[in-house]
């Protein structure tokens, strides 16, 4: 009898150890495998991520280490592609909001969590649509799969010199392009020698002009915004080819396509024969000219705010929503243009043998590729989504600080970044400088570019061909559209 009791006790003990070791059936913090994650970022130092990483590891004991590396933006894409090609890249990395068409084959979309009792998707497209501005779903959800999520997003807004507008008797920043034209004409002064000082607005030239020759920072984005506001289909829904030079069904019959009208509007600010002439190659680049108080208005992103405050602490400037393409009666749809980055997960990665040995020493298996992908996506979800979406993590939050910790909210607040999430955008409505960018995210659009840097070069050439070479707008537009279609076929 004693021997029989001993056998039963041993069986119960072994069974208990199996359950406690974390078979994936219990949400009790135990784990049967472990993983180490590497994250590649661009603009944030490691201390920005330190608290989020620390808090996450408290919640998920499977993740033994998260290493964050900040890379250089100029070589980032090439460095990333080279690393992914060898299987030695990061687990989590930033991608630009235009990169999905180009790099989707290297990304692991959000998977079903096969390693929990729920067997449910870690995130669904509907949840992303509900929580984020529409442009996020447009950029990163494809064929019912979520490929990336942002900590923040950025859209164009109008920077304006309050003193210069006040001196011109302009009570409020222009809300429409009609108002914008009027303000430019009131502010711009051209002397007898043709020198412009001050300029009403930094508009009209490309962003690749030589240094000191009127460079307009983010000129191609501004032109794209004007095209979209004019009703352009950047990509034809039928042919899936570039269509920004074409007539649309809504505008067919006019003298010029909406894309041509947008280009004509943009380049008129550098055309001496136009009443809105306010910019030429003698100007400093747009950012420097604004900081120096030599131009009253420019369009750009929120990342410029700390730069302006640092270089010109006494400059009395404000930000406002981008002007809209509306008539005198206010008819027209509000549209902005987005340019931002989001975190994605690598599809494949070679196992690090040192990590495998360490896991074995801990009497655990090292994560399979499927497990690695699932754990990487849970960390992205923790970073970007409200806390309620991470309730399935093995360990519940302990204490007031942990239970209330919201990485995306802290990121937006501490770094003064416009939010991508709807609940955080709502909180930024009262922020004096950030509110136009946050509100812009709600109405922002983008388009599926085959190569964002290649398209940027084509659009810069498009502007240069009209402004510097005298090419007819129609011909320049057709040439640019053909060049983009060549990129799409590569």
Pairing of strands 33-41, 92-96: parallel
Confidence of residue 18 (pLDDT cuts 50, 70, 90): very low
What is the model's pLDDT at position 17? 39
Q: How far apart are the first and last CA of the chain?
A: 78
What is the model's pLDDT at position 328? 77
Could you tell me the residue ranges of all domains in the chain?
32-153+340-348+363-423, 157-337+450-489
When pLDDT is averaged across residues 328-333 and rounded to a whole number, the result is 80
Query: For 16-25, 242-251, 365-374, 379-388, which range has the lowest pLDDT when averaged over its residues?
Result: 16-25
What is the model's pLDDT at position 9? 41
Average pLDDT over the chain, rounded to an integer: 90
When pLDDT is averaged across residues 317-330 and rounded to a whole number, the result is 91
Query: Does the pLDDT at position 249 exceed 70?
Result: no
Residue 224: in which H helix or E strand, if any?
A: helix 219-229
Q: What is the pLDDT of residues 453-482, one digit of tens each?
A: 999 999 999 999 999 999 999 999 999 999
Give the sign of the dihedral formed by CA 197, CA 202, CA 206, CA 209.
positive
Q: What is the pLDDT of residues 47-60, one digit of tens each?
A: 999 999 999 999 99
What is the model's pLDDT at position 12? 39
Closest residue by Cα to residue 376 from 13, 89, 24 = 89
Confidence of residue 225 (pLDDT cuts 50, 70, 90): very high
When pLDDT is averaged across residues 27-41 and rounded to a whole number, the result is 77
Confidence of residue 347 (pLDDT cuts 50, 70, 90): very high
What's the CATH code, domain 32-153+340-348+363-423? 3.40.190.10
Q: Please determine whether the domains at 32-153+340-348+363-423 and 157-337+450-489 fall in the same fold group of CATH.
A: yes
Query: Does the pLDDT at position 422 exceed 80?
Result: yes
What is the model's pLDDT at position 6? 46
Confidence of residue 256 (pLDDT cuts 50, 70, 90): confident
Q: What is the pLDDT of residues 118-134, one digit of tens each?
A: 678 899 999 999 999 99
Q: Which residue do the tokens 């027209």 mark? A: 332
Give the sign of the dihedral formed by CA 105, CA 380, CA 35, CA 371.
negative
Structure tokens at 387: 């806390």
Closest residue by Cα to residue 77 from 98, 49, 60 = 98
Confidence of residue 359 (pLDDT cuts 50, 70, 90): low
Decide if 433 contacts 318 (C-beta within 8 A).
Answer: yes
Query: For 10-19, 206-215, 315-324, 443-452, which range has the lowest pLDDT when averaged over its residues?
Result: 10-19
What is the model's pLDDT at position 300? 98
Residue ranges of alpha helices (H) inside 65-218 are: 76-85, 100-103, 125-131, 134-140, 162-167, 177-187
Query: For 156-160, 264-268, 282-286, which range has the lowest pLDDT when averaged over its residues?
Result: 282-286
Structure tokens at 215: 């460079």
In DSSP notation, 448-487 reads --S-HHHHHHHHHHHHHHHHTT---HHHHHHHHHHHHHHH
Query: Does the pLDDT at position 37 exceed 50?
Result: yes
Question: Which of the following CATH numbers is that of domain 157-337+450-489: 3.90.550.10, 3.40.50.1470, 3.40.50.720, 3.40.190.10?
Answer: 3.40.190.10
Decide if 146 contacts 123 (C-beta within 8 A).
Answer: yes
Query: Does the pLDDT at position 11 exceed 60?
Result: no
Q: What is the pLDDT of residues 375-413, one digit of tens each?
A: 999 999 999 999 999 999 999 988 877 888 999 999 999
What is the model's pLDDT at position 210? 63
Sorted by sequence, the CB contacts under 8 Å of residue 245 that are 6+ apart come out as 257, 259, 260, 477, 478, 480, 481
Q: Which residue do the tokens 């809300």 mark? A: 175
Closest residue by Cα to residue 433 from 339, 309, 313 = 309
What is the model's pLDDT at position 20? 36
Q: What is the pLDDT of residues 178-221, one digit of tens each?
A: 999 999 999 999 999 999 999 999 999 999 766 567 899 999 99
Task: Specify whether the backbone of 242 is left (phi greater than 0), alpha (psi in -120 to 50) or beta.
Answer: beta
Cβ-based burial of 253 (10 A; exposed 0-12, middle 13-18, buried ≥19) = exposed
Confidence of residue 297 (pLDDT cuts 50, 70, 90): very high
């Amino acid at each position: 009898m004693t021997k029989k009791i001993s056998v039963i006790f041993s069986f119960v003990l072994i069974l208990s150890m199996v359950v406690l070791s974390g078979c994936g059936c219990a949400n009790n913090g135990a784990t049967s495998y472990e993983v180490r994650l590497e994250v590649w970022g661009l603009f944030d130092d490691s201390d920005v991520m330190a608290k989020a990483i620390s808090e996450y590891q408290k919640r998920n004991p499977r993740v033994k280490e998260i290493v964050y590396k900040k890379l250089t933006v100029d070589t980032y894409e090439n460095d990333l592609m080279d690393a992914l090609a060898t299987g030695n890249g990061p687990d989590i990395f930033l991608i630009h909001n235009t990169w999905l068409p180009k790099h989707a084959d290297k990304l692991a979309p959000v998977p079903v969590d096969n390693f929990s009792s729920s067997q449910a998707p870690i995130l669904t497209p509907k949840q992303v649509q509900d929580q984020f501005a529409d442009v996020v779903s447009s950029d990163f959800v494809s064929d019912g799969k979520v490929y990336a999520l942002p900590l923040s997003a950025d859209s164009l807004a109008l920077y304006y010199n309050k003193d210069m507008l006040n001196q011109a008797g302009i009570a409020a920043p222009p809300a429409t392009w009609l108002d914008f034209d009027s303000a430019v004409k009131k502010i711009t002064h051209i002397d007898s020698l043709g020198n412009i000082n001050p300029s009403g607005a930094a508009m009209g030239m490309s962003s690749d002009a030589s240094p000191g020759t009127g460079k307009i920072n983010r000129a191609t984005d501004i032109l794209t915004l004007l095209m979209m506001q004019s009703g352009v289909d950047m990509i034809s829904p039928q042919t899936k080819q570039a269509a920004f030079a074409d007539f649309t069904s809504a505008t067919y019959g006019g003298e010029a396509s909406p894309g041509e009208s947008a280009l004509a509007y943009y380049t008129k600010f550098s055309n001496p024969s136009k009443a809105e002439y306010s910019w030429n190659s003698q100007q400093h680049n747009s950012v420097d000219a604004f900081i120096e108080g030599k131009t009253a208005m420019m369009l750009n992103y929120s990342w410029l705010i700390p730069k302006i405050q640092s270089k010109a602490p006494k400059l009395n400037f404000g930000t406002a929503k981008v002007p809209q393409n509306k008539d005198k009666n206010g008819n027209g749809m509000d549209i902005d243009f987005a340019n931002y980055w989001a975190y994605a997960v690598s599809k494949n990665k070679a196992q690090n043998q040192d990590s495998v040995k360490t896991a074995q020493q801990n009497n655990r298996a090292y994560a399979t590729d499927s497990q690695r992908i699932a754990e990487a996506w849970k960390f992205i979800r923790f970073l970007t989504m409200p806390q309620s979406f991470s309730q399935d993590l093995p360990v519940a939050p302990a204490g007031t600080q942990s239970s209330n910790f919201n990485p995306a909210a802290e990121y937006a607040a501490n770094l003064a970044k416009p939010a991508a999430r709807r609940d955080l955008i709502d909180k930024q409505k009262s922020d004096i400088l950030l509110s136009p960018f946050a509100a812009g995210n709600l109405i922002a659009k983008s388009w599926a570019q085959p190569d964002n840097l290649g398209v940027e070069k084509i659009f810069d050439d498009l502007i240069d061909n009209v402004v510097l070479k005298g090419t007819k707008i129609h011909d320049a537009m057709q040439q640019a559209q053909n060049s983009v279609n060549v990129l799409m076929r590569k």
